[in-house]
């Protein structure tokens, strides 16, 4: 197996008496789509926030691209190539799709959001933004205001914003949330394309999507890894079935 792009070692993060991350270790190898699943409150979002640097662990270590980034602040991790898909709430609703992506690309280049005017003018930023929009299927929607995009398109735009920072590792926190059947299918198709180009960590409740996409799945319960393996191994793991999957039809349908 290739040496890991991301290595998490014995990570611990508590909130009061709750261990949201409980001695958690995990490897993500280059090129894989690694899904993280588990019941509500299992610690998935807390883990992602520690990977991006938005939340500091109490103990343990995070290595990214061969470097210990445990104490590295979020903006520097982003420059090293670690991107989290922005939540819809962070999109600038009164700006066009291309403005949103160009501003993200500009911020990644090290400029302050305050000088976003440059993002409208600089050709290399516009070109990079247009390319990212095209990759997510929004090439024709570049000049549409975010407020006029559908929910599904806004989700795609979040991905374009993350891609504009040219990540080595893309962290996706529930990209299917709130999507209808058609929009979900579009998102799955899009992620199938993106996974060819970028390593992805996917947190998702939609098991149909997870089992359609993942090379490996890690299952969290109460902040701990209870299983990690390929989709078949996870589908057939008795502890996982008991703790989470139960008899969900989606899991067997994608066999
Ligand atoms: N800022 C916080 N303050 C206090 N407790 C928190 C905080 N963030 C998370 N927790 C607690 O940590 C645990 C893990 O929460 P987390 O949101 O990471 O789980 P999750 O797996 O992402 O859940 P979901 O699937 O519902 O999004 C929960 O018990 C939660 O209540």
Residue 209 placed within a domain = yes
CB-CB contact of 203 with 36 (8 Å): yes
Residue count of the chain:
255
| ipTM > 0.95 (yes/no) | yes
Residue 137 placed within a domain = yes
- Predicted confidence at residue 246, as pLDDT, reads 72
The more confidently predicted of residues 121 and 11 is 11
Give me the CATH number covering residue 121: 3.40.50.300
- The domain in which residue 220 lies consists of 1-77+169-175+200-255
Token pair 């009061």 is at which residue? 16
pLDDT band for position 75 (cuts 50, 70, 90): confident
Q: In this structure, how many other beta carbons lie within 10 angstroms of the beta carbon of residue 83?
A: 25
Establish whether residue 43 lines the binding site of ligand 1, counting it when its CB lies within 6 angstroms of any ligand atom. yes
Q: Global pTM?
A: 0.89
Candidate from 43, 178, 202, 223 with most ligand 1 atoms within 8 A of CB, to mutate? 43
Predicted confidence (pLDDT) at residue 107 exceeds the cutoff of 80: no
Count of domains forming the chain: 2
Establish whether residue 46 lines the binding site of ligand 1, counting it when its CB lies within 6 angstroms of any ligand atom. yes
Residue 186 placed within a domain = no
- Supply 221's token pair: 């319960």
Q: 72 and 6, same structural domain?
A: yes
Closest to 162 measured CA to CA, from 246, 85, 76, 52: 85
Closest to 12 measured CA to CA, from 46, 53, 52: 46
Per-residue pLDDT of 79-91, as tens digits, reads: 899 988 755 567 8
Distance 112 CA to ligand 1 centre (A): 31
Q: 113 and 66, same structural domain?
A: no
Q: 12 and 64, same structural domain?
A: yes
């Amino acid at each position: 197996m290739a040496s890991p792009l991301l290595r998490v070692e014995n990570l611990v993060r508590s909130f009061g008496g709750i261990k949201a991350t409980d001695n958690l270790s995990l490897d993500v190898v280059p090129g894989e789509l690694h899904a993280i699943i588990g019941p509500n409150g299992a610690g998935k979002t807390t883990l992602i926030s520690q990977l991006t640097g938005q939340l500091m662990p109490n103990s343990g270590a995070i290595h990214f691209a061969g470097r210990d980034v445990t104490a590295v602040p979020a903006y520097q991790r982003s420059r090293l190539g670690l991107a989290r898909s922005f939540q819809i709430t962070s999109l600038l609703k009164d700006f066009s799709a291309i403005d949103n992506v160009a501003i993200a690309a500009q911020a990644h280049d090290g400029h302050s959001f305050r000088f976003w005017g440059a993002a409208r003018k600089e050709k290399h930023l516009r070109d990079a933004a247009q390319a990212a929009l095209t990759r997510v299927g929004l090439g024709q929607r570049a000049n549409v205001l975010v407020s006029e995009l559908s929910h599904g398109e806004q989700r795609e735009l979040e991905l374009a914003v993350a891609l504009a920072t040219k990540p080595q590792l893309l962290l996706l926190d529930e990209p299917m949330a709130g999507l209808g059947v058609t929009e979900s299918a579009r998102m799955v198709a899009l992620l199938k394309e993106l996974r060819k180009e970028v390593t992805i960590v996917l947190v998702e409740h939609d098991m149909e999507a997870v089992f359609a996409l993942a090379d490996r799945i890690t299952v969290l319960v109460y902040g701990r890894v209870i299983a990690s393996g390929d989709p078949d191994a996870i589908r057939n793991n008795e502890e996982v079935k008991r703790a989470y999957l139960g008899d969900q039809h989606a899991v067997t349908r994608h066999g």
